[in-house]
Homo-oligomer: A and B are copies of this chain.
Amino acid sequence: MAVSARESGGSRRYGQGREALLQAAVQVVADQGLRNLTYRAVARKAGVAHALVAHHFGSREALLTAALRFSLDNSVTTISARPGSGDLDALFVGLSTLVEANPHDQAFQYELILESRRRPELRPYVVDIYQTYVNALHAELEHAGVQPDVALTHVIYAAADGLVFHQLTIGNPDLTERSLQRLRSLLKTRCQDSDPAAATGIAGRRCEERGLQE
């Protein structure tokens, strides 16, 4: 399916070139790699002249930085389906679906995390979104009575991140979901062990263990 000119999508209006270029940059990186992030490739996908990239961003590096900011701003940072509910079963709900829905953004972000190893000016953005995720996760775990410290929060974040990375590259959303259920189980047992309130039933739905199959 060869897409001509406007490369899939409605006609663009005057003044919308910049955003079109940012979206195009994310897509190009996601499905052709940083190697093929060229003025011409991005411009073609955005349906504009390639000189417009230089006009808006000045350089290829600046385009990449702007695209990362753009991608992160449009990213979902909710970690739970019912934030603040303390329900572990709501944690990471829909994660596999989210990856399936827009693999482009995910792939782009992983590419840029690796790139940030070599481009220090990208690091603040990477560190910032990590902190955002981890803070949200820490709050959820606390509400669930897990009594998390930095290390525990980190390893759970790492697990979710690893699951996303694996699904993105090798596939299989089903395995992701089943693995998330195991992760929740692990948290529940720790929760029961460490929270005496839950054991005596005082904390209500906290640390409730539900059926593993569904």
A115:B162 contact, CB within 8 angstroms: no
Q: Which of A101-119 contact B (CB under 8 A)?
A: 107, 110-111, 113-118
* In the complex, residue of chain B having the shortest beta-carbon distance to the beta carbon of A154: B179
Contact with B along A126-166 (1 / 0, CB 8 A): 11001000000000000000000111101111111111011
Q: A150 vs B107: C-alpha distance in the bound complex, in angstroms? A: 25
Given the interface pairs A34-B35, A182-B151, the reply to whether A114 lies near B158 with Cβ below 8 Å is no
Closest Cβ–Cβ distance, residue A33 to chain B (whole Å): 6
A179:B158 contact, CB within 8 angstroms: yes
B168:A157 contact, CB within 8 angstroms: no
CB neighbours (8 Å) of A59 from chain B are none
**Interface flag for A193 (CB, 8 Å):** yes
- Contacts A158-B158, A158-B165, A162-B163 given; 10 further ones with Cβ under 8 A? A33-B114, A33-B115, A107-B114, A111-B114, A123-B170, A149-B182, A154-B175, A161-B165, A162-B162, A189-B190
7 nearest CB pairs, A to B:
A158-B162, A162-B162, A151-B178, A155-B179, A159-B159, A161-B162, A152-B182
